[in-house]
Structure 1
């Protein structure tokens, strides 16, 4: 068989609900063939412990489903899982569609601010292709910004709708990024999850050993990631707390402000901060991807 079931829990509009058709994917992107293996029950799969395999799978998915023919990331950059990233876009569309109109919001008039876009620039790319939204994408890393700009310029239809800006002050998130004329329907963010390099390595090792049973192999981070993409002082909770307080002066120019939350233990204290500061709306959306559960924390002032 050529189709591997991915996840029945993905958003109903997600194109990857029915799994990966490796026969089609290797036709559009021949380098993927090298990484296809036979998994349980004779199904095709790839070695998800191998970072190179994941990069090639992403390239194939982007070509097959999103008409992105030229996409690359520098070595060791965070390599995003496409189905999960697309899910965030779909749930964000549902959130913006507050009046529950029959059709979810599309078109270039919808403007989204992506915090920490990374070299992949994946949310703006998917958001433009799925819903034709416009994006301002930001990052603190100059090399990531350059790589993101290259991905945007290399594919037709993206340049007019995706602007990549560098945040030169690493202590700020919104300040110096949002101009006086900017107005965004929503903010999205995939924050650094870990508090330190040590915490990141401990969890990476555990994950690698679960995926790869060969004890003679040294752990590798299968989805990659540079330091600023993976950890920051105080970890996810402190980063989002900073987001909350920094978003307050821009309340008139921001619609829904959202961020992924990996650790459910962080939800309660962050919601408490939002309630204390009188956020007008707070929502938590649960996304299930395989065995992993992540949440979107969303608020409005």
Structure 2
């Protein structure tokens, strides 16, 4: 189940979403039983759905990104934010801290700047997003500057050195209550492409049986699972990225209270725990998040 505070824990209220974001209407389909849905293999439909969710629930009226950049599922992203809020609550007499005194750092915020949006609109936190990609930074700034509800609460910074994660973006004497990260999880472009192809096949399999035009579906799904190289893969995959993050976190132990990262591959946890223990870190949390049949998790640590 999704987090209890996740605004998207129930089915999508498509009628209300269309009222908040009329551009979603062309993508709404009527199922044989009369209920409404959208075509999740259509990247434009998925993008419109996410924009509608952000408009309806978070009052973000402009949300767009360049073609070829990842379009994140808003409900799953919200879970990470809410479970982090629970972690902060444990140091606050069980109450989730709200307001601008809480500052969060999003490593790899992307062109969509989705985590800072959800965090600041849900809890009023101040957020800083970082990314190595100049186009992502430009897109994130366009979203922030186009929405008055975000302008004073989110800042984005470009990381100029791909070898660094915190160095160069965390300023001297700056303090964050937490950092979060959705690391590139593939080890190579070939591996990322293979996974995308499997997703395409799963999405188009049933439609092929019904006689849908397969090539159009494949083209659509390919776009839907597109992403820039830095979003999808890095040398050593997510394990090596998180291990670099752990090593560098030691130098920022006094500036960031909780470090955290999503871990998509459960098998990586053993090596991650080992890397943390080698630095003498004993306060480690692993928090699982369920999205239907899929279980994801993040690891959090502090010095």
TM-score by length of 1: 0.94
d(CA) in 2 for partners of 1:196, 1:174: 23
Unpaired stretches in structure 2, ≥5 consecutive residues: 209-213
Q: Does 1:171 align with 2:163?
A: yes
Relative distance call for 1:52 and 1:180 in structure 2 (3 A) is same
Write out aligned runs for 1:224-243 (5 A): 224-243=226-245
Larger helix proportion, structure 1 or 2?
2
Q: Map 1:116-265 onto structure 2 (within 5 A).
A: 116-213=108-205, 214-215=207-208, 216-217=214-215, 218=218, 220-265=222-267
- DSSP-derived class of the 2:169 partner: coil
CA–CA distance in 2 between the matches of 1:224 and 1:299?
A: 31
Q: Gaps spanning 5+ residues in structure 1: where? A: 1-8
Q: Could you tell me how far 1:40 is from its partner in structure 2? A: 6.8
Map 1:1-301 to 2 at 5 A.
Answer: 9-39=1-31, 41-99=33-91, 101-213=93-205, 214-215=207-208, 216-217=214-215, 218=218, 220-301=222-303
Please tell me whether the aligned partners of residues 257 and 302 of structure 2 are also in contact (alpha carbons under 8 angstroms).
yes
- Conserved? CA contact 1:54–1:223, under 8 Å: no
Length-normalised TM-score, structure 2: 0.93
Judge which range, 137-146 or 221-230, deviates more: 221-230
Residue 99 of structure 1, CA deviation: 3.4
Measure how far apart 1:290 and its partner are.
Answer: 2.6
Distance 1:39 1:202 in 2: 31
Does structure 1 retain, via aligned residues, the 8 Å contact 2:120–2:126? yes
Q: How big is the alpha-carbon RMSD for the aligned residues of Structure 1 and Structure 2?
A: 1.4
Runs of 4+ in 1 over 2 A off after TM superposition: 38-43, 99-103, 214-219, 221-224
Deviation string for 1:52-108 (max 9, x for gaps)? 111000110011000000111111111111111111110000011123634311101
Helix, strand or coil at the partner of 1:283: strand
